[in-house]
Homo-oligomer: A and B are copies of this chain.
Amino acid sequence: MARRGVIEDLQALRRFGAVNFVESSFGGDGRAKGVCRPALSKADLDARLWFAERCADAGLTPRIDRFGTVLAGKGGLLCGSHSDSQAQGGWLDGALGCAYALEVAREVPGVSAVNFQDEEGRFGTLTGSRTFCGEDLDFDAMSLSPEWAAPKQTLGEALEAARPTLETSNYFFDGFLRIEEHHRGFFEAHIEQGRRLERAGLECAGVSSIVGLRQLRITAFGEQNHAGTTLTVDRRDAGRALLRLCAEADEAFGHLAGWAQDLVWTFGIVDLKPGAASIIPSLAEAVLQIRDPDDDVLGAAEDTVRELAKRAAVDVRVSHDRPPLLPTPMDEAMLGHLREAGVETEMRSGAIHDAASLARAGVPAAMLFVPSIGGVSHAHHEDTRDADILKGAQVYVEAARRMTSSSPR
């Protein structure tokens, strides 16, 4: 069967950090394909060493840097994605783009393959691809995001811990790999992670732009006290204030979404301290993530939260939990090559991808999406039909061929 290598590569990659977990409520194909391969974990590093070997098999000379970012080949069209996963991740998020890049490396001359580190944000936002694009990040100031259940460490410490494993590779590069002048563009395939393609019955889509994102940390400061003896009038209940603020923000965003129909928002983390049934919380925190293709909508949403914070019953501080990301358009010429390769539709990406780092750095960037069953992602039962994976690979290879044979930027 054509392009069977893509499925085999995905299955091989899936073994690194495989989670044997069957969620019976899953309406998909019933196979459990979850992975736990967080950036710089043992499973992640092993997967990257594996990826470097596969690049060498395809005839591209790989290097693997202190991050575990793999760059194979010299110049030309850069193809790839990332192989790190969410803590409770699926087998295709990032991995699909890596497998497609290997397929292109085997079939199309004039390409390089890349596998970026920490796209999922274990330590920051797009840490690997931003470093690759020349940003100087302070690794010792970047520490594990609280949602990643693991020992607290800075990125600098995690890199030191990873070094012995990376050094075992013949391809180890003792530094950080950077984008090269002769890279003519970046082309990334990814699962859609939404339901638009599935609903429309389409096999793939080009990506016109990547949404902007603001992530706010909302912190309410109250006074710890006894939950039975403290009268309501005497309370400075941080938990109650935060819960009300979140519900009011949710209500307001609902109205905002009336005209900003792509707006999505998520309270993914809520934490009360000290966190006991009999104690009034002294501290309450929520992390709110807001995404929209229009930065003005993001600004309006943030303003709403700041207004609500001013009116809260206790002191509330609102801060950026990570630097805001502006909406990022993809390269028009490369979108043209995708259309020539048979891609009939375009959509915005609600997810952030490494392609955004490269586009922001001035590198022409494009993306191809394949359908996600039920729109599920960032979950163990994330999946895509084999036929869609294979069709996507065919389109990806064809588009890459066109991109490499067009005149360089």
Contacts and interface: CB of A to CB of B under 8 A. Distances in A.
Contacts of A274: 87-88, 147
Given A274-B87, A351-B226, A268 B289 contact: no
A99 interface: no
A87 B234 CA distance: 23
Interface in A59-85: none
B271 A277 contact: no
A121 B278 contact: yes
A352 B228 contact: yes
B378 A279 contact: yes
A145 B279 CA distance: 13
A267 interface: yes
A269 B264 contact: no
Contacts of A272: 267-270
A365 interface: no
A321 interface: yes
Contact of A86 (B86, B230, B246, B276): B276
B231 A194 contact: yes
Contacts of A88: 224, 274, 279
B194 A211 contact: no
Given A230-B264, A232-B264, A250 B244 contact: yes
Contacts of A192: 229
Interface in A199-241: 211, 213, 215, 223-232, 234, 237, 239-240
A111 interface: no
A375 B291 CA distance: 44
A278 B289 contact: yes
Contacts of A350: 226, 228-230
A110 to B, nearest CB: 32
A237 B288 CA distance: 13
Contacts of A145: 276-277
Given A147-B276, A226-B378, A243 B234 contact: no
B267 A243 contact: yes
Contacts of A215: 277
- Size class of A's contact patch? 35 or more
A170 interface: no
A269 B277 contact: yes
A275 interface: yes
B264 A268 contact: no
Contacts of A375: 225-226, 229-230, 234
Contacts of A280: 266, 268, 378
A203 to B, nearest CB: 17
Contacts of A277: 121, 145, 147, 215, 266, 268-269, 287, 289, 321
Contacts of A379: 224-225, 279, 282
Contacts of A269: 272, 275-277
B86 A351 contact: no
Given A224-B88, A229-B194, A247-B246, A281 B264 contact: no
A278 B193 CA distance: 12
A349 interface: yes
Interface of A: 86-88, 120-121, 145, 147-148, 192-195, 211, 213, 215, 223-232, 234, 237, 239-240, 243-244, 246-248, 250, 257, 263-264, 266-272, 274-282, 284, 287, 289, 291, 321, 349-352, 372, 375-379
Given A229-B351, A230-B350, A282-B379, 18 more contacts: A86-B278, A193-B226, A195-B234, A225-B375, A225-B377, A225-B378, A226-B375, A226-B378, A227-B289, A227-B378, A228-B351, A239-B268, A243-B243, A243-B250, A268-B272, A268-B277, A268-B280, A278-B289
Identify the 4 closest CB pairs spanning chains A and B, nearest first.
A247-B247, A194-B229, A193-B229, A147-B276
